[in-house]
Structure 1
Amino acid sequence: MRFVLPKGRLLKGSLEVLRKAGYDVQKPGKRRLIEGFNGNEVLIARAFDVPVYVEHGVDVGISGSDVVEERKSDVFVPLELPFGKCRLSLAMPRERVVSPEEMDGYRVATKYENITREYFSKLGVEVEILKLSGSVELAPKVGIADAIVDIVETGETLRANGLVEVEKAMDVSAQLLVNRISQKTKFEEINELVFSIKEVIENEL
Structure 2
Amino acid sequence: MKFVLPKGRLYKDSVDILRRSGVEIPEKPERALIWSNGRDEFLLSRAYDVPVYVEHGIDVGIAGSDVVEERESDVFIPLELPFGKCRLSLAMPRSKVVSPEDMDGFRIATKYVNVTRKFFSRIGVEVEIIKLHGSVELAPRVGIADAIVDIVETGNTLKANGLVEVAKIMDVSALLLVNRISQKVLFEEINSLIMRIRRVVYGT
Provide TM-score, normalisation by structure 2.
Answer: 0.98
* Partner residue, 2:102: 102
Partner SS for 1:168:
strand
- State the distance in 2 between where 1:165 and 1:15 align: 32
* Partner residue, 1:90: 90
> Conserved in 2, the CA contact under 8 Å of 1:54 and 1:178?
yes
The alignment's C-alpha RMSD in Å is 1.0
* Partner residue, 1:186: 186
* 1:147-194 CA distance string (max 9 Å, x none): 000000010111111110111000110000000000000001100110
* 1:120-166 CA distance string (max 9 Å, x none): 00110000000011111111111100000000001011111111011
- State the distance in 1 between where 2:89 and 2:29 align: 35
Residue identity opposite 2:192 in structure 1: E
- State the distance in 1 between where 2:52 and 2:7 align: 14
Shift of 1:4: 0.2
Residue identity opposite 1:137 in structure 2: E
Correspondence 1:65 to 2:65: yes
* 1:104-131 CA distance string (max 9 Å, x none): 0000000100000000001100000000
Correspondence 1:132 to 2:132: yes
Correspondence 1:46 to 2:49: no
Aligned pair count reads 204
* Partner residue, 1:31: 31
- State the distance in 1 between where 2:173 and 2:39 align: 29
Partner SS for 1:9:
helix
Partner SS for 1:148:
strand
- State the distance in 2 between where 1:130 and 1:93 align: 17
* Partner residue, 1:161: 161
> Conserved in 2, the CA contact under 8 Å of 1:110 and 1:149?
yes
Partner SS for 1:105:
coil
Provide TM-score, normalisation by structure 1.
Answer: 0.97
Query: Unpaired runs of 5+ in structure 2?
Result: none
- State the distance in 2 between where 1:67 and 1:130 align: 18
> Conserved in 2, the CA contact under 8 Å of 1:28 and 1:44?
no
Partner SS for 2:139:
helix
The 3 A distance-change label for structure 1 pair 27 and 97 is farther
Partner SS for 2:194:
helix
Q: More deviation in 20-29 or 123-132?
A: 20-29
* 1:69-113 CA distance string (max 9 Å, x none): 100000000000000011000000111110000000000000100
> Conserved in 2, the CA contact under 8 Å of 1:15 and 1:26?
no
Shift of 1:27: 4.7
